[in-house]
Amino acid sequence: MKEINFYRSQSGKSPVEEFLDDLTAKQAKKVIWVLNMVEEHINVPSKYFKKMVTTDNL
């Protein structure tokens, strides 16, 4: 099993956590579900890595 660690700056900020906090409940649920798949499985189908809507600059 893999472990996903989010980047945290020296000042303690985590851009990934801030991004997740700004998502709707439905979007956050999907992202967490995909991250859990990445942690638990060796190969995750690419269809789960599509660009999310309204994330123009990501």
- Domain-embedded: residue 40: yes
pTM score, whole prediction? 0.65
Q: Is the pLDDT of residue 58 over 60?
A: no
- Domain-embedded: residue 2: no
Specify the pLDDT at position 21: 93
User: Structural domain of residue 33, as residue ranges?
Assistant: 8-58
Mean pLDDT for the stretch of residues 33-57: 78
Q: Is the pLDDT of residue 9 over 90?
A: yes
- Domain-embedded: residue 1: no
E strand segments, the chain: none
Pick the closest to residue 35 from 24, 54, 52, 48 (CA basis): 48
- Domain-embedded: residue 18: yes
Q: What's the domain count of the chain?
A: 1
Please, what is the average pLDDT of the chain? 85
- Domain-embedded: residue 3: no
Mean pLDDT for the stretch of residues 16-20: 90
